[in-house]
Amino acid sequence: MAGPISRLAAFSDTFGQMLDDIDRVLVTREQIAQRIQELARQITDDHTTAEGETEITLVPILTGAMVLAADLMRHMPVRMKIGLMTVSSYPGKSLRTQGSNVLGSQLGDIHGRHILLLDDILDSGGTLRKVVPLLKEMGPASVKVCVLLRKDRSVAKETPCDYVGFDIPDEFVVGYGLDFDDYYRNLPEIVTLKKAVTATAASLNG
């Protein structure tokens, strides 16, 4: 079979069992790579003033946004620092948000700095509604938000967000940083999982 899943099979020694769990590929690695470059250019332009570029503090929300952050920052020729925040909203085998909890942060002094908050996916908006005000309380010069994916839900579309990589259907996805029970983050494409895989989580997601 040609197509993204068969190309992943070339790595089957590494990805092994995970390939059998995939239902569909929603966004390919080529599409992601292309869009990341576009986003990086737009974000860099938006942070460049007549006097020159401004400094950024990139804040990926861990764990999901670490892959996005690693790829995006290498296309941003801007002086930047990195801050970290760990937020949990889909603990374990959850397929729906269980409420967002800030588990920890390592931001440094962000007073007066331009913050670019990164998240893997915008779903209920609960994470951003919790994290953006927390950051604003620390007196940054600005806070902008970039998400790789946004689900086709009105609550997601109504949540303020400056940069969106892809609008996707309202389905549970994994890969490129996104997980199910902390697995699948290392898949290079955005995929859905077979029902038989996620069915193990029925009690949590009733």
Instruction: For residue 93, give the nearest of 201, 203, 202, 172 by alpha carbon.
Output: 201
Given the residues 120, 123, 152, 170, the one annotated as active site: 123
Q: Which residues in 126-145 contact ligand IMP (CB under 6 A)?
A: 126-127
Return d(Cα 201, Cα 189) in angstroms, integer.
23
- Residue 150's Cβ-count burial label (10 Å; 0-12, 13-18, 19+) is buried
CA dihedral 148, 83, 186, 178 (to 10 degrees): -50
Binding mask of the shown chain, residues 72 to 101, with x at each position contacting ligand IMP by CB under 6 A: -----------------xx------x--x-
Q: Per the structure block, which two tokens stand in for 78?
A: 């801007």
Residue closer to ligand IMP, measured from CB, 47 or 119: 119
Q: Per CB under 6 A, which region of 18-26, 43-51, 167-175, 198-206 contacts ligand IMP?
A: 167-175
125 interacts with Mg ion by CB under 5 A:
no
- Binding positions for Mg ion, 45-64, rule CB under 5 A: 64
Map tokens 């970290």 to a residue. Answer: 84
Least Cβ distance, residue 74 to ligand IMP (angstroms)? 21
Instruction: Tell me how far apart the alpha carbons of residues 95 and 172 are, in angstroms, rounded to a whole number.
Output: 7
- Tell me which residues touch ligand IMP (CB under 6 A): 61, 64, 89-90, 97, 100, 119-127, 172-174, 178-179
- Tell me which residues touch Mg ion (CB under 5 A): 64
Catalytic residue annotation:
123
